[in-house]
Amino acid sequence: MRITFSRIVAALFLAVGGALTGLTAFGLVVADVVVRSGRVSILPADAGMLHDLVTAAPVVGAFGLVAFVSAIVLLADSRRARAIGAIVSATGTVIGLGLVALVFAATGPFASMPSDRFVDGLGIVGTYVAFNLVALVALVADRSAKPASPATAATVA
């Protein structure tokens, strides 16, 4: 196996997506700490929503760390690196598409109280999906892990 351009692209998108995901989780925790300390006053409904989001921060941060580590593994050129990267990026894509559906259903035009604020949520989650989808497509297009055909092996020898 060798490190190809598609592996580098997949590793780059997994690393950046994982770093942004982890930093988002960290930012949620820091924002909750600042709001709870009383240094910043926000609406009680927003404070409650922030606290609800913080409960998911460990899972989000852990997934960001896994994506970042899988990017490093892709560049380390191990035997199972492509499979690990594909699993992580496919999982991120599926979860992200589910989140897009939930954001659209909760605040989109068909919600009980439609709002145009759902565009922000779609932008954030859509970027996450795009990073994972680019990484997945790059890994699917990667030909470095495919075994050589017997005819090719005989020609080389």
Where exactly are the structural domains of the chain? 5-144
- The whole-number pLDDT of residue 16 equals 95
Distance separating alpha carbons of residues 134 and 9, to the nearest angstrom: 8
Q: What pLDDT score was predicted for residue 122?
A: 81
For residue 127, is it left (φ>0), alpha (ψ between -120 and 50) or beta?
alpha
What's residue 103's pLDDT? 79
Distance CA 156, CA 81 (A): 26
Check residue 144 and give its pLDDT: 64
Would you state the pLDDT for residue 89? Answer: 94
Q: Are 14 and 71 in contact (CB under 8 A)?
A: yes
Listed residue (90, 91, 116) closest to 103, CA to CA: 116
Residue closest to 1 by CA, chosen among 105, 95, 76, 89: 76
Give the residue ranges of the chain where pLDDT is below 50.
153
State whether residue 41 is helix, strand or coil: coil
- In contact, 103 and 125? CB cutoff 8 Å: yes
